[in-house]
Structure 1
Amino acid sequence: MSTGIPAAARVILASHNTKKLRELQRILTAAVPGLPEEAVISSAGIDLPDVVEVAVTFEDNALLKARSAAAATGLLAVADDSGLAVDVLGGAPGMFSARWSGRHGDDDANNDLLLAQLADVPAEHRTARFVCAAALVASDGSETVGRGEMTGVLLTERHGEGGFGYDPLFRPDGEQRSAAELSPEEKDAISHRGKAFRALAVHVARLLES
Structure 2
Amino acid sequence: MTAPQTAIPVGATVILASHNAKKLTELQRIVTAAVPGLAPEQIISSAGIDLPDVVEDAVTFEGNALLKARSAAAATGLLAVADDSGLSVDVLGGAPGIFSARWSGRHGDDEANNDLLLAQLGDVPDAHRTARFVCAAALVAPDGAEVVERGEMVGMLLRERRGAGGFGYDPLFQPEGESRSAAELSPQEKDAISHRGRAFRALAGHVAQLIGAAG
Query: Among 79, 88, 99, which residue is 1:96 paired with?
Result: 99
Please state if 1:105 is matched with 2:105. no
**1:76-91 residue pairs with structure 2 within 5 A?**
76-91=79-94
Contact 1:150 1:192 in 2 (8 A): yes
Cα offset, 1:48, TM superposition: 2.3
RMSD in angstroms over aligned alpha carbons?
Answer: 1.2
Corresponding position of 1:23: 26
In structure 2, the gaps of 5 or more residues are 1-9
Please state if 1:135 is matched with 2:138. yes
Alignment partners' CA distance in 2, 1:201 and 1:88: 33
Q: Secondary structure at the match of 2:209?
A: helix
Cα offset, 1:84, TM superposition: 0.1
Q: Deviations over 1:109-149 (max 9, x none)?
A: 10011001111111000000000000000001000100000
Query: Among 108, 114, 117, which residue is 2:117 paired with?
Result: 114
Q: Which stretches of structure 1, 4 residues or longer, exceed 3 Å deviation after superposition?
A: none
Query: Among 62, 65, 69, which residue is 2:68 paired with?
Result: 65
In structure 1, the gaps of 5 or more residues are 1-6
**What amino acid sits opposite 2:136 in the alignment?**
A
Please state if 1:123 is matched with 2:119. no
Please state if 1:153 is matched with 2:143. no
Percent of aligned pairs sharing the same letter:
82
Contact 2:12 2:44 in 1 (8 A): no
Q: Secondary structure at the match of 1:113?
A: helix
Alignment partners' CA distance in 2, 1:86 and 1:58: 15
Bigger drift between 18-27 and 30-39 goes to 30-39
Q: Deviations over 1:86-123 (max 9, x none)?
A: 00101000000000011100100100110011111110
Corresponding position of 2:4: none
Cα offset, 1:25, TM superposition: 1.2
**What amino acid sits opposite 2:176 in the alignment?**
D
Q: Give the TM-score normalised by structure 2.
A: 0.92
Q: Secondary structure at the match of 2:47?
A: coil
**What amino acid sits opposite 1:197 in the alignment?**
F
**What amino acid sits opposite 1:31 in the alignment?**
A
Alignment partners' CA distance in 2, 1:72 and 1:166: 31
Alignment partners' CA distance in 1, 2:102 and 2:194: 21
Query: Among 167, 170, 178, which residue is 1:167 paired with?
Result: 170
Q: 1:51 to 1:69 in 2, by over 3 A?
A: same
Alignment partners' CA distance in 2, 1:206 and 1:84: 31
